[in-house]
Chain A
Amino acid sequence: MGSDAMAHDASTPAARDTKKKRGNRSAKLKQSKLDVRREQWLSQVKGGKQAKALLSPAAAAAAAGANSGSLILASPHPPLPRQRAEIQIRGGEPEDYKEDSVGAGQDVCSSDLESPMHSPVSYNPTVVCLQQHHCSGNRGSRSLSSGSSAWSSSRSVSDADDEDTSGSPENDDDGVLDDWEAVADALSVDDNHNHQDSGPAAPPAVPASCPELANASTRPERIKSRTRAWSPDDVFRPQSLPSLSKQASLPVSMGNCWVAMGIGSAQKGILSSPIPCPICYEDLDPTDSSFLPCPCGFHLCLFCHKRILEADGRCPGCRKQYSSAPSVVGTSGNEHATGNLRLFRSCSMGPNY
């Protein structure tokens, strides 16, 4: 016991020592990091102009890349267009269809599974669907031309013209609508394709032949949402999606509310861009933004106002003492604001509850 205590005693100073050393070392490390940073900063400033000149084209390129990405989603999923091409190539081989009806379908299916790009889980339903499709098409009529026309009755004219040469590789790129998989991809991925009209025209025709198309047409959507989140201000963001961020949800819902109530766009404009409270940086809600506790017009949220009143009670904007009875609405020319406030309240009582 005694020796234990001794040992303990003996060990603690050493431990403390090492701790101290470690602290020293970390402090030194921090300092050296800061020094490095300072030097970097200085050198950056020296070469700032050149760097800027270099940077701007790069930034532009990046912006362009982002743009194209949002437009056709080319960068997030390279597999999709390629897959489509593969399927088209397969679809363009007339021998497959003429010789065996079921085998062709299975062939497509198996090769689909084998191709390393496709994760089997996500593509399984489509593969099954594909197989059925091939079978039905082949059973109905064993020639390629009639089969393909059955699959996509709304093929564009140019495609129909090319049909006799559909086996040639040049044509494969054009045969966007050779099967529904391509249709589905064309809908989402290939907005800029030369057959722009055929993309949107296809979906009403295909469901008649394949009930699972509903799945297929939603699938690219799902992929999109998996790879890339919609930013609230994205132009391509589907309107049906709920706005998740708090910042966006408030003005949107209130905006809808205004529209529903038939109130002009002036108030809506106020709401569309929430100003953050300069104290806590939380977004001001409608009640807050019409709350003017000080004649200097400094906006802040009710919560911060209360905290300031509890502390020294001076307006952060002009450093004057808040009046003891803070006027919720300023006296000069704020009839409008009163109206706003009332409307906000009635609004919040309305569809939200």
Chain B
Amino acid sequence: MQASRARLFKEYKEVQREKSADPDIQLICDDSNIFKWTALIKGPSETPFEGGVFQLAFSIPEQYPLLPPQVRFLTKIFHPNVHFKTGEICLDILKNAWSPAWTLQSVCRAIIALMAHPEPDSPLNCDSGNLLRSGDIRGYQSMARMYTRLAAMPKKVLLPPCELVVGACFLTWLLG
């Protein structure tokens, strides 16, 4: 337990130091619990996930790094290797191919790679897997893009217009 804590703390420092090293990944440690992390990853370009920001939840076992972290998508994603409801990820390095030399950062990188290269032969999302396996790339891409739009794109928030209105009011008040 002490070892995992020390290692996570080192990783935290590393993340703080190299914040801009990987522009596609943002790792955030929970304020109160170093065994809970959140990651924001950007959908890789030239995939249906481009433009989306996906939230990952890390739950790290006390035997880390000997055991892999448990990672799942919090943002809904249409991907053959991600469970559509739970967000569970089917990725070998998160299961039997884990190596203690991996870090949370590299896990994020692996997940980005998985988004770009789905493995339809071991699907957690059968619909998505079937689309790909049947060769309906276009169908898969449009579905994935739709869900990216729906769930992973920042909504066009109502705040900016509100602010504009308030700003305009303030300006008129100032001038008048």
A279 an interface residue at 8 Å Cβ cutoff? Answer: yes
Q: What separation, in Å, do the CA atoms of A319 and B42 have in the docked complex?
A: 29
Given that A45-B23, A279-B65 are contacting pairs, would A38 and B7 also be in contact in the complex, using a CB cutoff of 8 Å? Answer: no
A316 an interface residue at 8 Å Cβ cutoff? Answer: yes
Residues of A within 8 A of B97 (CB): 319
Q: What separation, in Å, do the CA atoms of A39 and B55 have in the docked complex?
A: 13
Q: In angstroms, how far is the closest chain A Cβ from the Cβ of B49? A: 15
Mark interface residues in A54-88 (1 if CB within 8 Å of B CB, else 0).
00000000000000000000000000000000000
**Closest B residue to A43 using CB positions:** B154
- B99 and A317: CB pair below 8 A? yes
Q: What separation, in Å, do the CA atoms of A68 and B65 have in the docked complex?
A: 43
Residues of A within 8 A of B26 (CB): 37, 41
B3 an interface residue at 8 Å Cβ cutoff? Answer: yes
Q: What separation, in Å, do the CA atoms of A148 and B10 have in the docked complex?
A: 58
- B154 and A39: CB pair below 8 A? yes
Residues of A within 8 A of B23 (CB): 45, 48
A34 an interface residue at 8 Å Cβ cutoff? Answer: yes
B28 an interface residue at 8 Å Cβ cutoff? Answer: yes
Selecting from A105-113, A149-157, A304-312, the interface stretch reads A304-312
Residues of A within 8 A of B101 (CB): 278-279, 298, 316-317
Given that A41-B53, A278-B101 are contacting pairs, would A311 and B66 also be in contact in the complex, using a CB cutoff of 8 Å? Answer: yes
A270 an interface residue at 8 Å Cβ cutoff? Answer: no
Mark interface residues in B42-60 (1 if CB within 8 Å of A CB, else 0).
1000000000010100000
Q: What separation, in Å, do the CA atoms of A307 and B26 have in the docked complex?
A: 30
- A38 and B66: CB pair below 8 A? no
Q: In angstroms, how far is the closest chain B Cβ from the Cβ of A19? A: 16
- A37 and B28: CB pair below 8 A? yes
Residues of B8-47 at the interface with A, using a CB-CB cut-off of 8 Å, are 10-11, 14, 23, 26, 28, 38, 40, 42
- A280 and B40: CB pair below 8 A? no
- A307 and B66: CB pair below 8 A? yes
B100 an interface residue at 8 Å Cβ cutoff? Answer: yes
- B10 and A34: CB pair below 8 A? no
Given that A308-B66, A311-B66, A317-B101 are contacting pairs, would A280 and B3 also be in contact in the complex, using a CB cutoff of 8 Å? Answer: yes
Q: What separation, in Å, do the CA atoms of A282 and B6 have in the docked complex?
A: 9
The one of A280, A298, A311, A314 that contacts B6, using a Cβ cutoff of 8 Å:
A280
Residues of B within 8 A of A353 (CB): none
- A279 and B7: CB pair below 8 A? yes
- A281 and B7: CB pair below 8 A? yes
The one of B3, B40, B63, B99 that contacts A316, using a Cβ cutoff of 8 Å:
B99
A128 an interface residue at 8 Å Cβ cutoff? Answer: no
Q: What separation, in Å, do the CA atoms of A45 and B65 have in the docked complex?
A: 32
A42 an interface residue at 8 Å Cβ cutoff? Answer: yes
Q: What separation, in Å, do the CA atoms of A65 and B163 have in the docked complex?
A: 39
Q: In angstroms, how far is the closest chain B Cβ from the Cβ of A329? A: 21
Mark interface residues in B150-165 (1 if CB within 8 Å of A CB, else 0).
0000100100000000
Residues of B within 8 A of A45 (CB): 23, 42
**Closest A residue to B99 using CB positions:** A316
Q: In angstroms, how far is the closest chain A Cβ from the Cβ of B97? A: 7
Q: What separation, in Å, do the CA atoms of A304 and B65 have in the docked complex?
A: 10
Q: What separation, in Å, do the CA atoms of A34 and B75 have in the docked complex?
A: 12
**Closest A residue to B53 using CB positions:** A38
Q: In angstroms, how far is the closest chain B Cβ from the Cβ of A22? A: 14
The one of A38, A281, A308 that contacts B10, using a Cβ cutoff of 8 Å:
A281
Q: What separation, in Å, do the CA atoms of A45 and B45 have in the docked complex?
A: 14
Q: What separation, in Å, do the CA atoms of A311 and B65 have in the docked complex?
A: 11
Residues of B within 8 A of A314 (CB): 99
- B99 and A307: CB pair below 8 A? no
- A280 and B7: CB pair below 8 A? yes
Q: What separation, in Å, do the CA atoms of A316 and B65 have in the docked complex?
A: 10
Mark interface residues in B77-120 (1 if CB within 8 Å of A CB, else 0).
00000000000000000000101110000000000000000000
| Chain B positions near chain A (C-beta within 8 angstroms) | 3, 6-7, 10-11, 14, 23, 26, 28, 38, 40, 42, 53, 55, 63, 65-66, 97, 99-101, 154, 157
